[in-house]
Structure 1
Amino acid sequence: MNLEKILKTGNEVRMINGTEAFITTIDEVTGENSFTILAPYKQGHQVIVRTSEIFSVSCVTERGLYMFEVVVTDVDAASNVIIIHLRTWGEARRVQRRQAFRVRESIAVNARKYPDGKWVKTSTVDIAETGILLRFDEDCEIGQEMEMTLRLNLFGLNEILSRIKGTVVRCIPTRNREFGFRLGVQFVDLPEKARDALIKMVVLSQRDKLTYRQTKKFR
């Protein structure tokens, strides 16, 4: 896979091996299967990276989430900024959006029955770019219109999606005393900016879970 068509300078990459895990940024894509990164820092101290070390890498790009292995080919300490040269080890694989379609993440939501219901402070059970499973304190009929404000405050995101409209497609009773129902809400006329933010959050969540599973394999 041609990295020059996938990665860009400034892309954030997460790298792990058996002893280290860190986040840094791409300095330059130098070829179809090679790129450089800035020397990573962790808790204010530079992470020591050595030639021939192998890392598992994940990177969120405009095309989605990519994961691949790299080997360190050189550590350039000739200037004040240390540059680490990497070459891919095997094929890069793209995590398809259908694999990352719905994720179990709890985000803060203000929701009400549209147009004149009371506002309820609640949270999601899971979330996708097309809708959410929402904790709610009232029974709702299928087709009930909802108005919501979603606060995406995780994985480095800090987005408030206001006045999001949706339609109830499921209403599931629960035994929870505070929120006695779970609503499956499908978004309606979702603004492009809000959709992009949700897609990014879903991809970042998927990457986080995949990285966690990879880290467990090394333990």
Structure 2
Amino acid sequence: MVVKGVVNIGEKIEVVVQERLNADEKACFSMIQDVPQDDELWITMPMLKGEPVVLSIGQRVRINFFRERGKFYFDAEVIDRERTDTVHLIRLKQVSPIHRLQRRNFYRLKINLPVGFQVIKEGSDQGEVNYLKAYTADISGGGMRLLTDEKLEPGQQLKCRIPLGEKDFLELKGLVVRVVPCVERNYKFEVGVKFVDILEVEQDRLIGFIFQQQRRLKAKGLI
């Protein structure tokens, strides 16, 4: 599959750059300016924390873009550069098919979200849910790390209420997989939670929300 017809002019993307062998990859912010060929696109010079990231002719990068169904990516090569009066542009050629990020490779975002949870007691009627309060240390499409003063035990099942907007919540079932003393902040426990019995549509909504928050934080130079 080629990029033309899949990505859109004006769309925000990530450009993943590895500057040298064995160096850490850096995910930079950019925007699509034009799609002149089926397998080519012009993008703005990538930015990282407000600073431009210079790309060289022949350099390979990975392009990440996002849809409601999750995260997609393809490899590209820098084939041209151009400077106008207002912007630096990079021309890329697609050199791999478009792939969807595999579920086991969920991106984990460090963010503090207020989460409500309740321990599910086997054989009992939960009735009206009275949620206990916690905050995420990080979250992904597969689970989250909670900060709380409530003592939980590995193996317990939770009903979790995750905010996706001012009046929009996602209710998911979670399994406690790890409980350790909290050393990061002023909470007693750090709790690792794995989402279970999650529907694909719910997971896609969560992934879409996570990448929306990631783009917002990057635009502010916070990550």
Give TM-score, length-normalised by structure 2.
Answer: 0.58
Residue 119 in structure 1 maps to residue 127 in structure 2: no
1:200 alignment partner, SS class: helix
Write the distance in 2 (CA, Å) between the matches of 1:128 and 1:72. Answer: 35
Residue 14 in structure 1 maps to residue 26 in structure 2: no
* Per-residue CA distance 1:127-184 (angstroms, 9 max, x = gap): 426x6565652458x8977352447xxxxxxx5675433445x345745382386555
**What pairs up with 1:18-167 in 2 under 5 angstroms?**
18=19, 22-40=28-46, 48-49=54-55, 52-62=57-67, 64-73=71-80, 75-77=81-83, 79-88=85-94, 90-101=95-106, 103=108, 107-113=112-118, 115=128, 117=130, 119-123=132-136, 127-128=140-141, 132=144, 134=146, 137-139=150-152, 146-150=159-163, 159=165, 162-167=168-173
Write the distance in 1 (CA, Å) between the matches of 2:197 and 2:168. Answer: 13
Matched residue, 1:179: 189
* Code of the aligned partner of 1:26: I
Write the distance in 2 (CA, Å) between the matches of 1:175 and 1:16. Answer: 35
Report the number of matched residues: 191
Q: By how many angstroms is 1:46 displaced?
A: 5.4
Q: From the superposition, tell whether residues 97 and 138 of structure 1 become closer, same or farther in structure 2 (CA, over 3 Å).
A: same
Contact 2:2 2:98 in 1 (8 A): no
* Per-residue CA distance 1:38-89 (angstroms, 9 max, x = gap): 2445666655555x3413122213363203031223x33355444332223x
Q: By how many angstroms is 1:31 displaced?
A: 1.2
RMSD across aligned positions (CA): 4.4
Q: By how many angstroms is 1:111 displaced?
A: 1.6
Structure 1 unaligned segments of length 5 or more: list them.
152-158, 206-219
Write the distance in 1 (CA, Å) between the matches of 2:18 and 2:180. Answer: 43
Q: From the superposition, tell whether residues 161 and 69 of structure 1 become closer, same or farther in structure 2 (CA, over 3 Å).
A: farther
Structure 2 unaligned segments of length 5 or more: list them.
119-125, 183-187, 214-223
Q: From the superposition, tell whether residues 53 and 124 of structure 1 become closer, same or farther in structure 2 (CA, over 3 Å).
A: same
* Per-residue CA distance 1:172-206 (angstroms, 9 max, x = gap): 5745382386555547789x6x754412356689x
2:130 alignment partner, SS class: coil
Matched residue, 1:214: none
Write the distance in 2 (CA, Å) between the matches of 1:109 and 1:187. Answer: 22
